[in-house]
Each structure stands twice: as structure tokens, then as C-alpha cells.
């Protein structure tokens, strides 16, 4: 389950991506908050994290504000989730970026690791293929993973 902070980050990035596709104007934090539904006070910290990560930039002055500086199709949702919430793996021994050996088990024979490893492998393939551009679309990006209906196309 994603946190409120991640949900607000995704909504704010979608607002900035939509603006970049339009006239590309910088948006003040109040505008991002209004359009995304995120509380302004909470959004300030999120936008700073996104800026430090190189996803958004800021402009000073009368027409200043925040802008998306990466192409939406190059911004992985997994990257955002890791940035805001940390590692995605359900167990530390499954994480590729924050790996830690479990002190209480043998990885080769651990049944918990085996079961969650299968689930995690499928999840990570899906989440890493989704981008900010998918959030901008009206369609359901998960349709590409859906299995065909029984009897369809036979």
C-alpha cells in the first residue's frame, strides 16, 4: 500500500506533467496543491524531495514556481515510490537496492523468501514498466498485463 505522501507526490507530478504538455508554465505551490488536492504544507516537503531527486525544477520571480524537468515517459513510478517510501521489497533479503541478509534464516531454504520472492518478481516487473506518462493517460495502464478473457480470440 502506498502512503499518502507518495500519493500526493504522484498527483503533484501528474499536475506538473500536464502543465508541461500544455504551455509549460511554472506553477506556484498553491496551484499545484489546488489541482492535485494535496495539502500545501505537506506538499512543500514533497516538492523539495522531488527537486533534490532531479525530477522537477523551480523558477524564481513573478512567473516562478515548479516545473517538470524530465519527460513523463522517463519517470518511473517505481523510482518515485522508492524516493518517497523507500525500498519496495516486502523483505530486506529480496531488495536489489537495500539488500540485507535476514539474521534468522537461510536464504536458500527459506519458504517465506521463496513465496514472497515470486510475488515480488511479478510486482516489480509491473511497477517498473509504469511511468508518469501512464498516469497522464485516461486509459488503464494495467490493461497491458491483463490476461485475455476465456474463449476470446479463439
**Calpha distance 129→144 (Å, rounded):** 10
Q: Which pLDDT value is given to residue 49?
A: 95
Domains in the chain, start-ordered, CATH in brackets? Answer: 4-68 (1.10.10.10), 86-138 (no CATH)
Which residues lie below 8 Å from residue 119, measured CB to CB, with a gap of 6+? 90
Continuous H helices in 1-154: 4-21, 29-36, 40-52, 77-85, 111-129, 132-136
**Calpha distance 151→154 (Å, rounded):** 6
Model confidence pLDDT, tens digit, residues 66-116: 999 999 999 999 999 999 999 888 888 888 888 888 888 888 888 888 888
SS3 for 24? coil
Average pLDDT of the residues in 113-129: 88
Q: What percent of the chain has a predicted confidence (pLDDT) above 90?
A: 49
Amino acid at each position: 500500500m502506498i502512503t499518502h505522501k507518495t500519493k500526493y507526490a504522484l498527483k503533484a507530478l501528474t499536475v506538473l506533467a500536464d502543465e508541461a504538455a500544455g504551455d509549460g508554465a511554472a506553477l506556484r505551490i498553491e496551484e499545484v496543491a489546488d489541482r492535485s488536492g494535496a495539502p500545501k504544507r505537506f506538499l512543500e516537503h514533497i516538492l523539495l524531495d522531488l527537486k533534490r531527486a532531479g525530477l522537477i525544477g523551480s523558477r524564481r520571480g513573478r512567473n516562478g514556481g515548479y516545473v517538470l524537468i524530465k519527460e513523463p515517459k522517463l519517470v518511473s513510478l517505481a523510482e518515485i515510490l522508492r524516493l518517497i517510501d523507500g525500498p519496495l521489497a516486502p523483505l530486506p533479503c529480496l531488495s536489489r537496492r537495500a539488500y540485507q541478509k535476514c539474521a534468522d534464516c537461510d536464504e536458500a531454504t527459506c519458504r517465506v523468501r521463496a513465496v514472497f520472492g515470486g510475488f515480488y518478481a511479478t510486482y516489480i516487473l509491473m511497477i517498473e514498466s509504469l511511468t508518469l506518462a501512464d498516469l497522464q493517460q485516461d486509459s488503464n495502464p494495467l490493461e497491458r498485463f491483463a490476461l485475455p478473457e476465456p474463449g476470446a480470440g479463439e
